[in-house]
Amino acid sequence: MNAILSFFHTRHLVGLAASAAALLVSLLWHPAWLAPVLVIALAAVWIVDARRSAAAAEVVLPEAVDPTPVREALEDVRSALVDELGHATRELHQGLDLLRDAVQELGGGFDGLSQKTGLQQSLLKQIIDVQNGGVSVQDFAARTSDLLEHFVGMIVQMSRESLRIVYRIDGMAKEMDAVFGLLRNVNTIAEETNLLALNASIEAARAGESGRGFAVVAGEIRNLASNSNQFNEQIGSHVERARAAMEQLRGLVGTMASQDLNVALSAKGGIDAMMAHVTESDARTNAVADQVVEINRGLGSDVSTTIRSLQFEDILSQLLQQTRTRLVELQEVTADCTRDIEELACSRIDAEALETRAQRVRARLAVQREKARLRSRGPALQSSMDAGEIELF
Amino acid sequence: MSINVHHDSDTDCLTLHLGEHFDFSMHRDFHDACLGTGVKARSYVIDLGEVTRMDSSALGMLLLLREHAGADRAEIRIVNARDELRGTLRVAGFEKLFVLH
């Protein structure tokens, strides 16, 4: 039992085991606060271990133990810690560079996206403006419809005027009938004159020689009556022809007045259907265009939100930079403290010197702690990326 | 006679019931019924309930009646027109000149 204890005392196995455990922990877990804690714990373990071994050496082994293996072990621990911290620092630096590049590229990509969205929006606006400003199918249909109404109006006006003419012709036909009636009267007069002349000539013949002159006058009157009859017949036939011509004219004007409006009506129906279709399709197009504009606007706002969010790179860089500084300082502290602890563990020195060294290690750690405290009190890091404020550090 | 005329002496309203074909063949009857009398009624009702065919001369007659009845002061109602006739009247812009029922 004594032999085992002395072995532990002389070989500093507790310190070595603690160092190995600390190394393992520092490799597996990387919070910033771990390293100083580990260093302090290790220092304490080593001090206790060294003191105990010194006491043991005094009591059990009065001769000085060869300190070389301890020194070597401590040297290993220090170099392992320092190397590891150095690696961590370099990796952090590398990560920082990668992050910066990636964020820059993302920013560029989103800027391009934003520009293209803007361009798309302006092109769409142009299309809509052209559609609203130019002659649309709707205009065309409306004008055609107006034209058709004008055309139908003209036909109806023409019918009205034709009817007016027809009514005038009817009036004239009535006048003609009146002329016919009068002619019949004239005929009667001529016949009566003729009869009168006949009677006169009979009376003249009965009078004998003295009535001869009267007979001549009666003959002339008969001639006049017969001429009058002939004129009457001529006038009658002329009036008859005029009536026939007027009847013909009436038929022609009537044809002009009677126009079929069904063609115009069906054309109007077609135009109305076309108008309805065009209006509906216009409305649909406008709705889609509005939707696209809305989507584009949303896209633009999404892109700007994303670009704003890329500020996280700034914050992250600050954090990583700070962690890197801590690691570098830890590297120095580790180097310094392990060197002192090595001296404490391996050199044969009196109690006063021992106390001084221990003091120095503690003081060094205190300085480091103070630095850490000051840094955490320093300019506050932005902890969120809200609301579009761009803060630059 | 293809036009039935009814005059309401209380309201001085002349109602014309037109036959199946309201076209040029009816122009004389139409004239005799309301244009040629020289007397103006206060209001007119044109009943197209039985009319199946109508051409432009029918519209011309209606316009002449409107002139006869005092143009803008005329009070003429066109009633019982079937849809296609109503369409024709509308294309001709008659809804601005007459009261279409």
At A168-209, the pLDDT tens digits run 999 999 998 898 899 889 889 988 988 998 898 898 888 888
Architecture in CATH for domain A137-259: Orthogonal Bundle (1.10)
Which pairs with CB-CB distance under 8 Å and at least 24 residues apart come from A198-204?
Answer: A198/A222
B23 CB neighbours in chain A (<8 A) are 258
**Is the Cβ of B92 closer than 8 Å to some Cβ of chain A?**
yes
The region of weakest confidence among A29-33, A69-73, A285-289, B50-54 is A29-33
B56 CB neighbours in chain A (<8 A) are 155-156, 158-159, 257-261
SS3 B19: coil
Phi first, then psi: what are they for A304, rounded to 5°? -70, -35
Domain ranges of chain A: 2-131+312-377, 137-259
**Is the Cβ of B100 closer than 8 Å to some Cβ of chain A?**
no
- Does the distance separating the beta carbons of A265 and B56 come in below 8 Å? no
- Does the distance separating the beta carbons of B87 and A268 come in below 8 Å? yes
B54 CB neighbours in chain A (<8 A) are 261
Would you tell me which residues 204-263 of chain A have a C-beta closer than 8 angstroms to some C-beta of chain B?
254, 257-262
**Is the Cβ of A137 closer than 8 Å to some Cβ of chain B?**
no
Candidates A160, A262, A269; nearest CB to B64: A160
Highest-pLDDT range among A29-43, A49-63, A150-164, A297-311: A150-164
- CA–CA distances in Å: residue A372 to residues A27, A87, A322, A382, B81: 22, 21, 10, 18, 100
- CA–CA distances in Å: residue A370 to residues A39, A367, A374, A375, B20: 16, 5, 6, 9, 115
B75 vs B68: CA distance, rounded Å: 11
**Is the Cβ of A25 closer than 8 Å to some Cβ of chain B?**
no
**Is the Cβ of B87 closer than 8 Å to some Cβ of chain A?**
yes
Asked if the B3-100 domain carries CATH number 3.30.750.24, the reply is yes
- Looking only at the bridges linking them, the beta strands covering B21-22 and B53-54 are parallel
Candidates A149, A261, A269; nearest CB to B56: A261
A130 vs A140: CA distance, rounded Å: 16
Closest by Cα among A180, A164, A166 to A247: A166
Round the CA-based radius of gyration of chain A to a whole number and report it. Answer: 66
Q: How many percent of chain A have pLDDT more than 70?
A: 88
SS3 B22: strand
For chains A and B, CB pairs below 8 A equal 79
Q: CA triplet B66, B67, B73: central angle to 5 degrees? A: 70
A96-139 pLDDT tens trace: 899 889 888 988 888 888 888 888 888 888 887 877 765 677 78
Nearest CA in chain B to A155: B56
Q: How many percent of chain B have pLDDT more than 70?
A: 99
**Taking the mean position of all CA atoms in its chain, how far away is CA A276?**
27
Global pTM reads 0.54
